[in-house]
A = this chain, B = another copy of it.
Amino acid sequence: MSRPASAYDLTKLPTRAPHSINKEQANRQLKRMRQELIELQDRLYAENRQSVLVVLQGMDASGKDGLIRRVFSGINPQGVQVHSFKEPTAEELAHDFLWRVHQQTPRRGMIQVFNRSHYEDVLITRVAGLISTEEAKRRFTAINAFEKLLQQAGTTVLKFYLHVSEKEQRERLEERVTDTSKQWKYEAGDEKKAQQWPQYRDVYEDVFQHCSPASCPWHIIPADQNWYKAYAVAEVLRDTMVKMNPQYPQYKADRPE
């Protein structure tokens, strides 16, 4: 079946690292970048003016948890918070879809990581047939306005899609059955998820199409290799924070001249 052409054709975007870098180099550079991130986070916290929101999305088994561990370990946890969005509670469902998300946005000085996010409300809801295409369009508009609101209040929003291939996803999901160290990750329905790769691809492409203003693009990260994706995400985060250039405030206590 042919699909409409798109700038975000996931079947054409790489899921593996470019040849210009190998695992050893990437790990060495990741280590160095983590040191830089430690200092940048310290300055961000002290400055208390700007904040960072890292939105992490990816299909099941794309390795979101491992990525958070690899990139953020070592950074002062006082300045970094991770929030995992699970299935909404009854109370959350009794409000608009951004209600619970807005409560978790970072205050000034903080780095907030969303492990899954408001985008689930235009992804899994569509694959499950819970919302119409029209409702998805309305939500795209609401999401763009929401992210703009955050940006105007000093929050830099970084959105990452961890891009795993259909084959890699299937293998990882199977490992959850065969590898005893990974069986704890197994969830009912994992087999079905592997078959839904094309449906998820379609709704993700629609998200990238509608929710990528110039000021807030998606970063599509090749994610079949864990070492590469951590390196790639850390690099975007480090470069972004260097540009934000947070400063330690000047000492300005009142004291006699």
Contact = CB atoms under 8 A, between A and B. Distances in A.
A153 interface: yes
Given A94-B108, A103-B103, A152 B142 contact: yes
B138 A96 contact: no
A148 interface: yes
Interface residues of A, number: 25
Copies of the protein in its oligomer: 2
Given A102-B102, A102-B103, A96 B142 contact: no
B96 A99 contact: no
A107 interface: yes
A234 B140 CA distance: 36
A242 interface: no
A105 interface: yes
Point out which of A94, A146, A148 has the most chain B C-beta atoms below 10 A from its C-beta.
Answer: A94
5 contacts: A96-B152, A96-B153, A98-B102, A99-B103, A142-B149
| Across the A-B interface, the 7 shortest Cβ-Cβ residue pairs | A145-B145, A96-B153, A94-B107, A94-B108, A102-B102, A142-B149, A96-B149
